[in-house]
Chains A and B, each alone.
Chain A
Amino acid sequence: MPKTMLDIKKIRKDFPILNIKVNGKPLIYLDNAATSQKPRQVIGAMADFYQNYNSNIHRSIHKLGEEATLAYEKSHKKVADFINADFEEIVFTRGTTESINLLAYSLTQELNQGDEIIITQMEHHSNFVPWQQLAKKRNLKLKFIEIDGEGKLKLEQFSELLNKKTKIVSITHASNVLGTINPVEKIAKIVKEKSNAYFIVDGAQSVPHMPVDVKKMGCDFLAFSGHKMLGPTGIGVLYGKKELLERMQPFLYGGEMIKEVTFKDTKFNELPWKFEAGTMNIAEAIGLAAAVDYLGKIGMENVMRHGKELTNYCLRRLNEIKEVEIYGPKERSALVAFNVRNVHAHDTATILDGEGIAVRAGHHCAMPLHSVLGIPASARASFYLYNQKEEIDSLAEAIHKVIKVFK
């Protein structure tokens, strides 16, 4: 495997938070799948907005309003380029959760009783609960693609689930627990061959970590969150094919999403504004654009390669510890979920925290998946471009401490 191209020491200088101490120890931040840290370029872009051109957008006919509007629209364009989409195809939301809810509410309006929706056993609650609840309300049938012993989707079973009644297929690109990277291009082909269903991809864990090209992927919609890719919280993205977004009903009604309102009726605004009702998170959109710039400069191929190296190294180190059980396949995105035998994940995480190591513990918003795995909870270490091998050595050392405390 080629050596990583990233200058990690230099990258780390861009992230002020990496200098803090936790419990007297240098912070080792391995909870990137929950949210990433932010470089000063992102923090700075948002501060610059508030200090120098804060204004509402699209409605203010003055210098500041114009500047803010331009910056906000440029953010759409940058995000569009980042995933090879067109400007009109990028709708800003509050995050993946809101993007998927938008789709769930809007798309199920055109479905009929008995129509079918397919998701998988490994979905995050945000790509699970909206479909489950709307299926109940509208008498739709929700079906699940199962996972095999390794944590990969059973594609033969998927082909059996799919039929003419299938109207929506919504699948995560990368699992936030198993790390499994699902073959979305292949799934897109199967969906299109065998049904007329919309194909939705949850990109929350993939867009931050690998090059994503929506045209190549062949999805109809893609949802992801800014805060997991160096951007701020409160801003996320819904990509949708233009012709589909044009046909869809808006999800939120109100200011700015309209073209003309009379006492009788309303003409909706053009794309993408039709889906952006009310005053949006302007500073956050500008922050997200700075994050995309940052990632673009480093190159997503490099980000992916570095994540792979760290993940493989982590798998190797944790596999050396016989008390550690690891979940998910060998080939995976930049995270490792595990348990120390006979120790609850929360206890593991608390002891790691004492060493300055931040990992997530719990069900990671994937309770159905944990029930399939037959465990109540797991601990998860997840990596990003500023993490280094030494930090994984510290993780392994701290896990030995966990084992000692509970022996």
Chain B
Amino acid sequence: MTWMDKPAVHHPALPRNALGLTRRDYEGEISTLCAGCGHDSISAALIQACFDLELPPHRIAKLSGIGCSAKTPTYFLGAAHGFNGVHGRMPSLATGAALANRDLVYVGISGDGDTASIGLGQFIHAIRRGVNLLYMVENNGTYGLTKGQFSATADVGSKSKGGEANPYAPIDLVRLAIDLGAGFVARGFSGDKEQLVPLLRAALTYPGFAYIDCLSPCVTFNNHEGSTKSYPYIREHEVGIADLVEPRAEITVSYAPGERREVQVHDGSRLALRKLAEDYDPGDRAAALDLLERHRKRGEIVTGLLYRDADGADLHRIMNTTETPLNALDFADLCPGAKALDKINARLR
């Protein structure tokens, strides 16, 4: 962490979006995480994505559980709503909040411990229900906050800082999410914002459950030789499959641009994809699972937009709730009285 605050002064030529805000207006408190933590880069990417999308910060709600990852909502979008709950329970908070007010943009931040261990059941049910949120797992293969125990996403044989090898097979949350019917599934890497920021923009605007598994090295407890979640290991084994093209990408080429392909999505808009390793259709669930398996066998980590369902589930659609957010209904509409209740009860007899 750093003792001094980040000065409020900014570059006079910093661009402003349609709301008149600069990217700096989307920041939060200064981070207390270890210097170099991948989680901080993800916060910066989220700040950039929300700025790009011109989201009014006060129309966003941030939800999280426990972990270094779960602390990060303090470090971005200082003007947004937020709720930091107990370990593994972020999905419950998100479900409740999304039910009560369908008009906010929900950002759920979790860790691999928070989601793949204590919160696994919660994760599964949030997908099943199709809660409309960005569900971000900042995946470092370890319990960072409690000082470096293996998490359930650690690979077999990956070494702890002390040198022991992990004996258990990992849970691949990306596969799980696709399998359970999540509408939008992607994997990113905190060290590659050119890929991550467009993924975040797409996820934030996806109408349904959008899952991003973002590899995010823990510099302090899991960035050593022998770890499969370190900066160098990820860089060596990462295979970009279907990156969304940054609108600016044509000019900001830090990687050689590949072939461009446009994909139609159901709201009529088009996603521009940068095809890298092979021809890939992110609308095909079986193909996605197959691809993941093939690369796993080769010891490679696939990143990019892996699956996007044009008609993903959404909790409010499933439940057929009213367009008006429930928290905006007046008392009479929300609680129609004993007679209405009797009618409902009668239906169930």
Q: Do A and B come from one complex?
A: no
